[in-house]
Chain A
């Protein structure tokens, strides 16, 4: 079949034509590679649009070396000229300050040098691979972290369970030791010599400490096991304070310490767990007495505020060094401040105190001055019945 072009259609011109320099120019200008025309001494005479865009400025007149990151100090056009056709990985300085590797080839003419830079795709691929690898590593480490956390949580639960069981089983025999020691001190003391009475007093004192330790362990294990519950009832704060101080007064009298109590005349009835707040006050006042020098006083303030009540207890002891203040609410941590009478501390009292106050949505904090004493404050918000 004879095929003829339709009428009016242009016949293809099959005559071979050589490309004109402007066609080269067009391709060079539009190319996504860096193209520079350099003078013999390395000044940029011309840069294509891509080079200007990549380097963020008009480059004409600058030295080629100045666009390279300065670890190419050894870059030397004369040396390059001796190895024609060789490719050089060079880093250009991008406007954001980061280097970017291009593989440069140099073509030397009589009076000019053409520098042609191709983007290093291998480097980008490597970076991409590394990012993927790091992302996966991060993901695997996150898995490991969750797993270890779960293991720690399980171990902590087991520890609390063990602690609770051990403390519970210890409580009863310690109670018996205390009761019999007190019985002997009351009834049998006249039959004993001074040394034997001293032994009894040591048994009694140590047993009381053990009981306090066991009670604190039970509280801490209940708190950590999430079994710490409040029995909230309408309560009279003044009554709670009076009850607490009854116990502390005996302790203070033994050391010749006065308890100075300042309290507001009117208190709103508030919802709280009375026995736990009593435990807090007893503990804080007891601590203050233990840290106060004999023949001085512990000052207790109980005030009403718009939001609720503020309690404070101030001792006249040696104070706590500022750098040790953060130890106060950490389990088993003890400050270097010694109790005046050498009493032992479980290191758990302040933790339990804080938990009780925070469970009531209150705040607790400590202020201390070395040589002057320490004041512990807590607030309880007003919750109407």
Chain B
């Protein structure tokens, strides 16, 4: 466990090193909010997603680990993003993710939601099929391809 935390801290400090170059360009007016769901403390994947979006010219807001759904909904109201991304680090947090998707959908029926993370390795995406405009993104490559196409499409 200690090694995992150390590795996380090192990775986060490495991510910090690229920030002076990451935020320089703004290629699209698209905005995204990326967040870990309630009870999800593994934030590094979500942060990478936010950074990849930023690298591709989006304006991305990263809310961090364990974000209460009410606060997330409030922030969506404030920022009015084009997309929300939810990160699932651990499979057993799936009910929290479903709850988050439900709340967002109730408040924002047309908002695009992307989901992803190590918690989906067991292929739990079937549970998301009942929601429209919720997309599972399986890799960083797929994320880049999707965000590029969306950035150009809007």
* Complex alpha-carbon distance, A147 and B18, angstroms: 12
Beta-carbon contacts of B29-64 to A below 8 Å, as 1s and 0s? 000000000000101000100110010000000101
Chain A residue at minimum C-beta to C-beta distance from B26: A154
Residues of chain A lying within 8 A (CB to CB) of residue B54: 147
Q: Does the CB pair A136–B26 fall under 8 Å?
A: no
Cβ–Cβ contact B19 & A142, under 8 A: yes
Known pairs A143-B16, A143-B47; A136 contacts B23 (CB<8 A): no
Asked whether any CB of chain A lies closer than 8 Å to the CB of B111, the reply is: no
Asked if residues A140 and B24 are in contact (CB atoms below 8 Å), the reply is no
Contact between A146 and B23, CB atoms less than 8 A apart: yes
Beta-carbon contact of A142 and B47 below 8 Å? no
Complex Cα distance, B26 from A139, in Å, reads 22
Complex-state Cα separation, A146 to B8, whole angstroms:
20
A136 in contact with B64 given A143-B16, A143-B19 (CB within 8 Å): yes
Task: Tell me which of A139, A147, A151, A154 contacts B12 (CB under 8 A).
Answer: A139
Q: Does A228 contact B (CB under 8 A)?
A: no
C-alpha spacing A132/B65, complex, angstroms: 11
A332 contacts partner chain B, Cβ-Cβ < 8 Å = no
A139 to B, closest residue via Cβ? B12
- Please encode chain A, from 131 to 157, with 1 for each CB lying within 8 Å of some chain B CB and 0 for all others: 011011101101100110111001000
| Chain B residues within 8 Å of A137, by CB | 64
Nearest residue (CB) in B for A148 is B23
Q: Is the CB of A140 within 8 A of B23?
A: no
Q: Compute how far the CA of A136 lies from the CA of B50 in the bound complex, rounded to whole angstroms.
A: 15
Q: Is B129 an interface residue, CB under 8 A from the partner?
A: no
Interface string of A111-149 (1 = CB under 8 A from B): 000000000000000001000110111011011001101
Say yes or no: A150-B47 contact (C-beta < 8 A), given A133-B65, A136-B12, A139-B16.
no
Residue of A nearest to B54 (CB): A147
Interface presence of B5 (CB below 8 A): yes
Report yes or no: B64 in contact with A150, Cβ–Cβ below 8 A.
Answer: no
Q: CB < 8 Å: which of B5, B26, B62 contacts A140?
A: B62
A121 to chain B, nearest CB (A): 13
Is B151 interfacial (CB 8 A cutoff)?
no
Q: Is the interface of A mostly helix, strand, loop or mixed?
A: helix
What separation, in Å, do the CA atoms of A45 and B54 have in the docked complex? 66
Interface size, chain B (Cβ < 8 Å): 22
On whether the beta carbons of B13 and A146 are closer than 8 Å, the reply is no
Q: Is B140 an interface residue (CB 8 A)?
A: no
A157-191 interface bits toward B, Cβ cutoff 8 Å, 1 = contact, 0 = none? 00000000000000000000000000000000000
- A residues in contact with B9, CB < 8 Å: 135
* A136 to B12 Cα, complex, angstroms: 8
Is B20 at the interface (CB under 8 A from chain A)? yes
Which residues A67-81 have CB closer than 8 A to chain B?
none
Could you tell me the distance between the alpha carbons of A151 and B15 in the complex, rounded to whole angstroms?
19
Given contacts A135-B9, A135-B12, A150-B24, contact A140 B47 (CB under 8 A): yes
Q: Residues 340-354 of chain A: 1 if any B CB is under 8 Å from the residue's CB, otherwise 0?
A: 000000000000000
List the B residue with the shortest CB-CB distance to A144: B62
Could you tell me the distance in whole angstroms from the C-beta of B75 to the nearest C-beta in chain A? Answer: 13
Measured CB to CB, the closest approach of chain B to A139, in angstroms, equals 4
A154: which B residues are within 8 A, CB to CB?
Answer: 26
A143-B62, A150-B24 given; A136·B43 CB < 8 A: yes
Nearest-Cβ distance from residue A247 to partner chain B, whole angstroms: 43
Q: Does B22 sit at the interface, judged by CB under 8 A?
A: yes
In the docked arrangement, what's the CA distance between A133 and B51, Å?
A: 20
A146 with B5, Cβ < 8 A, contacts A133-B65, A139-B15, A140-B47 known: no
Mark contacts of A216-244 with chain B using CB atoms, 8 A cut-off: 1 yes-contact digit, 0 otherwise: 00000000000000000000000000000
- Chain A residue nearest to B66 (CB atoms) is A133
Contact B43 A146 (CB under 8 A): no
B22's contact among A135, A139, A140, A146, by CB below 8 Å, is which? Answer: A146
Question: Interface residues, chain A, CB within 8 Å of chain B?
Answer: 128, 132-133, 135-137, 139-140, 142-143, 146-147, 149-151, 154
Residues of B within 8 A of A (CB): 5, 8-9, 12-13, 15-16, 19-20, 22-24, 26, 41, 43, 47, 50-51, 54, 62, 64-65
30 CB-based A-B contacts, threshold 8 Å: A132-B5, A132-B8, A132-B41, A133-B41, A135-B9, A136-B12, A136-B64, A137-B64, A139-B12, A139-B15, A139-B16, A140-B43, A140-B47, A140-B64, A142-B16, A143-B15, A143-B16, A143-B19, A143-B47, A143-B51, A143-B62, A146-B19, A146-B20, A146-B22, A146-B23, A147-B19, A147-B23, A149-B23, A150-B23, A151-B23
